[in-house]
Amino acid sequence: MSEIIIPEHSTIYSICQKLVKDAKVIILTGLPGVGKSLYVQQLALMAQQSGRQVHLLQWDVARDAFETDAILAKYPEIDGVTHAMIRKAIGLWARSSIMDWAEQFSGDDHLLIGEAPFVGERLMQLAKVYDDSAETLLASDKAQFLLPVPTNHVRALIEKKRASSIANPQHEHESKDAPPNVLTMMWHEIHDIGATLGFCEPSPSPAYDAEVYQKMYEYLSQYRNSQTLIIDEVLQPSGSVYDLSNIVGHLQAPPDEVDKIIAHLERDSTVEAIEAEVSRWYQF
């Protein structure tokens, strides 16, 4: 059975307790393999303990609805990387979906907890400013973005544990986690962009650097109410970080909406244009 394992005396516990009591939407940001799923679980447990009803928005779950056989035939996954067209489509859906959710579950007892990797246009649309109804919520103090930043040592331990959980999953979602080669590729992309923006020096094969990582994701969250959590110890849940009960629901696009979004993108643009746009995902 899942339990709260964040030490009650810690600053992180105090921050999380305040968020689950005051926020309407909490979005965990960052690369795969930095502990986001654990903090989603912990926040959900703390929220439920406080009497909140928890809903989830998770990249891998949301992605499933867009990865039908028909769509993958046109926009296949290559080397474990989701096609740019699908990444773009999920981001467009997510903004409207959050707004629809907020209108349907307007009571203060409902809380949405999400995960947004940002890198490579994976829900980066939640961090960007758009002239739409979702912006009012996402820019308000009711929407809080949370960035876990593991130290270099903790990140290495998380990566090692992740490789083990993918090989021997305790939960179906663990088998879908980004494999080590994808984690490395995503970190290199973050570091390369960090070098472009002046946060670090260029490197052909950079090791994870917590300081560069923090600067990059704080930059990406600059238009949102965001807090950074420095993670300097590895927490050990008794089971899978995906073990959660009494979740009201997961935000996921229905098939007709998926088809509508894909058709809209295909009608208004080309695959090459979408890929070029997605390659500039970090630009505001």
- Mean pLDDT for 242-247 is 90
CATH of domain 12-278: 3.40.50
- Residue 194 clears pLDDT 80, i.e. is over it: yes
Query: How confident is residue 176, by pLDDT bands cut at 50, 70 and 90?
Result: low
Q: What average pLDDT does range 208-222 have in this prediction?
A: 98
Cα Rg of the chain, angstroms: 18
pLDDT at 174 (0 to 100): 53
Sign of CA dihedral 49, 50, 56, 59: negative
Helix (H) or strand (E) holding 250: strand 249-250
* pTM: predicted TM-score of the whole model, two decimal places: 0.93
Tell me, what's the pLDDT at 164? 58
Q: What is the mean pLDDT of residues 182-203?
A: 96
The mean-pLDDT minimum among 44-48, 63-67, 181-185, 237-241 falls in 237-241
CB 218 within 8 A of CB 147: yes
Name beta bridge partners: 147. 228
pLDDT tens figures, 121-152: 999 999 999 999 999 999 999 999 999 999 99
Per-residue pLDDT at 172 exceeds 90:
no
Least confident of 41-45, 154-158, 200-204, 208-212: 154-158
Confidence band for 178, pLDDT divided at 50, 70 and 90: low
Helix axes 152-167, 180-196, angle to 10 degrees: 150
- Long-range contacts from 192-199, C-beta under 8 angstroms, 24+ separation: 193/282
> Looking at the predicted structure, is the pLDDT value of residue 168 above 90?
no
CB contact at 8 A, 236 and 35 = no
In the chain, what is the straight-line distance between the N-terminal and C-terminal CA atoms, in Å?
42
161, with CB counted inside 10 A (0-12, 13-18, 19+), is middle
Quick check: 251 and 110 in contact, CB under 8 A?
A: no
pLDDT interval class at 236 (50, 70, 90): confident
Question: Which of 65-74, 77-86, 163-172, 209-218 has the lowest average pLDDT?
Answer: 163-172
Q: Residue type at 42?
A: Q
Which has more pLDDT, 77 or 172?
77
Q: Which pLDDT score is estimated for 183?
A: 87
Percent of all residues in the chain with a pLDDT value above 70, rounded to a whole number: 94
Q: Residue 173 pLDDT > 80, yes or no?
A: no
Predicted local confidence at residue 167, as pLDDT: 53
Using CA atoms, how far residue 38 sits from 6, 21, 32, 48, 255, in Å, is 10, 19, 11, 15, 29
Q: Which two tokens stand for residue 228?
A: 């950074």
CB-based contact 91:121 (threshold 8 Å): yes
> Per-residue pLDDT tens for 9-47?
999 999 999 999 999 999 999 999 898 999 999 999 999
* Neighbouring residues of 140: CB distance < 8 A, sequence distance ≥ 6: 225
Mean pLDDT score, 103-130: 97
Cα 188 to Cα 194: distance, rounded to the nearest angstrom = 10
Rounded CA-CA distance 47/55 in Å is: 11
Evaluated on CA atoms 37, 278, 149, 98, the torsion sign reads negative
Q: What is the dihedral of CA 180, 182, 187, 192, to 10 degrees?
A: 140
